[in-house]
Amino acid sequence: MDTFTVITAIALLLIAIGIGYKGNGSWAILAGFALAAGAVIARLWSGGGVMQIGIELLRDTGISLLLAAAYMGVRKLADSARPFVILGMASLILSGLLFGAKYLWQSIWLRDTQSILVELGPDDSIVEIEGILNRYAQSWERAFPAVSLSEDVDLAQVYLIQVSLRNLNSVMDALWADAENVDHVEMNTDVSLSLPPPSQAPIQSSSAVLGDDPYVGMQWGLNAVQAHEAHAILESANPVRKARVAILDTGVESTHEDLQAVYAEGIMDDVHGHGTHCAGLAGAMTNNGLGIASLNWEGRFIELMGFRALSGNGQGSLEQIAQAIIDAARAQADVISMSLGSKSEVQPRVLVNAVEYALDRGVIVVASAGNSNEDAENHFPSNIDGVIAVAAVDQDLSKAEFSNMVGNLSRPLAAPGVDLYSSFLDGQYKPMSGTSMATPVIAGLLGVMRSMNPALTFQEAYVILYETGTELSDTPITGRLVNAAAAISRTAEL
């Protein structure tokens, strides 16, 4: 129930009070009609298309009439309440029929459509471009309705517009031409996962390990980042609080034996498995006699959250990814881990704004560099200012053959990303490769650092990882390889 519905309900309740008032209740009736008129005008001003406005107005009216009828029933005014009940039920039925018609229309006619993202100026309203939208668009709505203007003047003014392919160029041209009201227009393009296959069976570790996790000996990456040495530090360390690491992906299998004890909230990964694999690398409970190890010693340092940036098919739109970033920031994530991205010569404005929204709320944002063996300069979101960009190294600590290069980005780092063993769907474990796998390794380390020093900023965190990182032969193109033990020791000294 939104604000307009509440206002309408109050308006109808005032009318009901006026009708049932023993004296002269005209004051309540007049106030109710004035308030109802204001609610209708506000609903019309909110935009969304004629059909959507009709659905919402009928819904508001139906709910409000039934609430007013209930009040009359309590006051034993059955005769007066009966028309309210009839009209209320009729309004709700009509609203439902319109909603069904809209859904059917969209399923039939919106097959060959493209969605675009339109950002209005801070003082502009969707009503000011409805002439264009009524001419070319099929539907429109606020992209991020939970974000208010006081929170973020850019994201609050973004609208998601559905357009048929035949009208796409026309509406884009018309919107760009309306510079008085429109600040930015971009295609709501899709991002798809593209992972290199695992190259071989997981390599057996030769290092002495502290944890009792049965598969820890198959995790060569722990050796590479000095994780076992970090475990020795964490065994006797006391975090200030648990840090929240948000996996923005296909969701997380919250019931997995190695994740459920450290899982806080989020969306279930029940189809793909990519998000579940990343979650294990970031924060699987360690030294619990189950599965794999991460830096989350005994689950005392990190709790995991899962947000659906990608659908079960491993694909997600810019709007979907931005919404996941917003949701994670609002859920008070300490670290956002994004093992996703795509190539574009222009940074998507909506993702730049969403990342800024997260950074402004103290979130550290980490993103994979991509798996195309090319410069990540044009790979988003890893190239967005403030984001830590992660390249992958192999067992020889050389750049993984598939990994993009991050040397030209402002915050480059490297982590193991070939044949990393981790959690998977249905309680299983398997190796996977990609900068997708390297990213949560660093996100988990950042989570541990935040748990020990919650005031650590994203700038301070990157400086620590950079200064304590290991120089490799490929460091100019991969960034330094993170050293978990050294980074945690440095954080503890602050």
pLDDT at 200: 61
- Of residues 342, 382, 436, 451, which has the active-site annotation? 436
Q: Parallel, antiparallel, or unpaired for β 137-142 and 182-187?
A: unpaired
What order do you get walking across the sheet with 243-249 strand by strand?
Answer: 263-266, 302-308, 243-249, 335-338, 364-368, 388-393, 412-416, 480-481
Q: Which member of 152, 154, 249, 327 is catalytic? A: 249
Please give, one letter per residue, the 3-state secondary structure of 129-197: HHHHHHHHEEEEEECCCCCCCCCCCCHHHEEEEEEEHHHHHHHHHHHHHCCCCEEEEEECCEEECCCCC
Domain 216-493 belongs in CATH node 3.40.640.10: no
Query: What is the band of 2 on the pLDDT scale with cuts at 50, 70, 90?
Result: low
Whether 422 has a pLDDT exceeding 60, the answer reads yes
| Per-residue pLDDT at 138 exceeds 90 | no
Which residues, 6 or more positions from 295, have their beta carbon under 8 angstroms from its beta carbon?
Answer: 227, 230, 231, 234, 283, 286, 301, 302, 444, 445, 447, 448, 484
pLDDT tens-digit readout, 365-420: 999 999 999 999 999 999 999 999 999 999 999 999 999 999 999 999 999 999 99
- CB count within 10 Å of CB 76 equals 10
31-84 pLDDT, tens per residue? 877 877 877 777 666 555 667 777 888 888 888 788 878 877 777 766 777 887
pLDDT of 100:
82
Q: What is the model's pLDDT at position 61?
A: 83
Name the more confident of 54 and 126: 126
Told to judge if 360 belongs to the known catalytic residues of this protein, a careful annotator would answer no
- Written as six digits, the tokens of 53 are 């406005």
pTM of the predicted structure, to 2 decimals: 0.79
Cα distances from 385 to residues 267, 380, 381, 407, in angstroms, run 28, 10, 9, 14
Residues 310, 312, 315, 316: is their CA dihedral positive or negative?
Answer: negative
pLDDT score of 332 more than 90: yes
> Residue ranges of the domains in the chain?
3-108, 110-188, 216-493
Quickly state the pLDDT bin for 203 (edges 50, 70, 90): low
Q: Is 269 a residue of the active site?
A: no
The reply to whether CATH 3.30.70.980 applies to domain 110-188 is yes
Reported as a single tens digit per residue, the pLDDT across 266-311 is: 899 989 999 999 999 999 999 999 999 999 999 999 999 999 999 9
Q: What is the mean pLDDT of residues 137-146?
A: 93
Is the model more confident about 167 or about 43?
167
Query: Considering only CA atoms, which of 246, 271, 262, 268 is closest in space to residue 321?
Result: 246
Q: What is the mean pLDDT of the chain?
A: 90
Q: Which of 256, 274, 277, 379 is catalytic?
A: 274
Q: Is 274 annotated in the active site?
A: yes
